[in-house]
Structure 1
Amino acid sequence: MALNEVICTKYDLVENSGVCALVNDEQVAIFYIPSSEEKIFAISNWDPCGKANVLSRGIVGDLTGKYVVASPLYKQHFDLKTGECL
């Protein structure tokens, strides 16, 4: 996939929630947070603790000033900017 290829539009996304997209045979979790400066975030959909592609179904929130998603499996928080498990 080229860097400028469109995966979806903002109108395909759900506010304050995630969706999953298949990009180059990898699942990507895309989040639309309209109240944030960045608005749209993308991280891997893979939860390394739960060993499943589920992060797009997690709960989005703010943890110490960082936008995060809580895994629906074991509730670890992943930074939406970096994908790092906090």
Structure 2
Amino acid sequence: MTSTIELTTRWIRACAIADLEPGWGEVALIGSRLVALVRVDDEEVYAVDHHDPHTGAPVMARGIVGSRAERPTIASPLHKEVYDLGTGECFTDPALGLRTFRTRVIGGMLEVEVDA
């Protein structure tokens, strides 16, 4: 007998997009999870785990926002590992990865998709 586990997700309203300053991160409590929200321009917002994959410290919202070519990035404020905001891939240490979450803006409000 084969059992299938169905993973479900839900969208949680985080804040008004106007509350986020472009080029900076903010931390939000989404459900029971700390998520770093990073607005890179008017409607482009990324959400990643607030915990640094290298140390486990809750600091990623204070990371350095930048880019590599066309890919928006965030660098850990502790050891400066650089992560792709869209995929979570670490450019400086392939063994590390940053969890990412999908975002959307509806009626000026930012929503983050998380596991239900």
Q: TM-score, normalised by structure 1?
A: 0.85
Question: Which residue number corresponds to residue 54 of structure 1?
Answer: 59
Return the offset for 1:32: 0.5
Return the offset for 1:6: 1.4
Q: Which has the bigger relative contact order, CA under 8 A and spacing at least 6? A: 2
Give me the CA root mean square deviation: 1.7
Unmatched 5+ residue regions in structure 2?
A: 1-8, 92-116
Return the offset for 1:61: 0.4
Q: Tell me which of 21, 24, 30 is aligned to 1:17.
A: 24
How many residue pairs align between the two structures?
83
Runs of 4+ in 1 over 4 A off after TM superposition: none
Unmatched 5+ residue regions in structure 1?
A: none
Q: How does 1:17-36 map to 2 (within 5 A)?
A: 17-34=24-41
Return the offset for 1:26: 1.0
Q: TM-score, normalised by structure 2?
A: 0.65
Q: Which amino acid aligns with 1:80?
A: L
| Structure 1 residues 10-66: Cα deviation after superposition (integer angstroms, max 9, x where no partner) | 11101111000011211101011117xx61111111111122011110110011331
